[in-house]
């Protein structure tokens, strides 16, 4: 399939309105990890400030945002490897999120398995890892929807499991058209629900997360199990769930626990 060419004018005519929430997962230790290195909360705050100074700068138009929303937009350092809508190198940041928390869990489960696929001698963790799922409010009139016509006509390009070239080219075109958000199908979620790639900080309707959930994700020889405390829910990904991806197809599942 040849790569379609979308001009700035053509994409501008495809903008859609979007108002809703999107979900993202981070390790639950994102703030607590420094507490064990200090004796008081004041010392921890100072340590966090010092660590912050070593990180790439946050763009001026994102500095009003909570660090959970602003962090993906840091681009002072070289982005080591490309992702679906971001090229490798010194490139503009992208905030990846999902319309449904279970989709965000599926994305996290896949990338955790990918780590172990690339580290075949590493044992499975003996305990479940804890993650914080948080939602952000998004409101924009400049969303491009790859799951709707006419952009969905090239769904084979947008949903390739490993070749991100067409999506990166589309993101370049979307930025030239001054788009805020790209809506696309998750290839990790078995239910194929939607993800959002937020290109501009102005798409956030509120400066901080609006809701949180605590998830525990366990990796084992039988697959991935994830449990949420409140609201109580669970999702499971058996061994074959992500097997269509060649990187996971060769994963050594029968390894010992750490």
* 4-45 residue pLDDT tens: 778 888 999 999 999 999 999 999 765 556 666 777 878 667
Q: Are 129 and 213 in contact (CB under 8 A)?
A: no
Beta bridge mates, 138: 20, 204
pLDDT over threshold 70, residue 104? yes
At 53 the pLDDT is 65
Nearest to 134 by CA among 254, 11, 27, 240: 27
Q: How far apart are the first and last CA of the chain?
A: 44
Q: What are phi and psi of 205, to 5 degrees?
A: -80, -25
Please give the pLDDT value at position 36.
66
What's the whole-number mean pLDDT along residues 112-119?
96
| Residue that has been written with the tokens 């602003």 in this structure | 70
More confident residue, 229 or 32: 229
The length of the chain is 258
258 or 118: which leads in pLDDT: 118
- Which of 54-68, 126-140, 243-257 ranks highest by mean pLDDT? 126-140
- What separation in angstroms does the CA of 123 have from each of 99, 137, 219, 226? 32, 38, 10, 19
């Amino acid at each position: 399939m040849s790569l379609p060419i979308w001009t700035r004018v053509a994409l501008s005519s495809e903008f859609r309105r979007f108002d809703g929430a999107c979900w993202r997962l981070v390790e639950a230790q994102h703030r607590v990890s420094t507490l064990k290195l200090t004796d008081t909360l004041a010392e921890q705050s100072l340590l966090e400030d010092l660590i912050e100074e070593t990180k790439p700068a946050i763009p001026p138009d994102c500095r009003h945002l909570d660090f959970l929303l602003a962090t993906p937009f840091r681009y002072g350092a070289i982005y080591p490897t490309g992702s679906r809508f971001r090229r490798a190198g010194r490139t503009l940041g992208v905030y990846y999120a999902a319309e449904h928390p279970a989709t965000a869990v599926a994305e996290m489960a896949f990338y955790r398995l990918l780590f172990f696929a690339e580290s075949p001698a590493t044992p499975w963790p003996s305990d479940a890892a804890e993650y914080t799922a948080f939602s952000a409010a998004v409101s924009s009139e400049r969303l491009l929807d790859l799951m709707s016509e006419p952009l969905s006509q090239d769904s084979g390009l947008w949903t390739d499991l490993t070749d991100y070239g067409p999506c990166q080219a589309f993101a370049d075109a979307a930025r030239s058209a001054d788009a805020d958000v790209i809506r696309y199908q998750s290839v990790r979620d078995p239910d194929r629900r939607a993800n959002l790639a937020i290109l501009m900080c102005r798409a956030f309707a509120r400066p901080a997360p609006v809701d949180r959930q605590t998830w525990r994700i366990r990796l084992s020889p039988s697959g991935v199990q994830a449990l949420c405390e409140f609201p109580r829910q669970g999702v499971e990904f058996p061994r074959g769930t992500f097997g269509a991806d060649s990187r996971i197809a060769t994963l050594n599942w029968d390894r010992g626990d750490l």
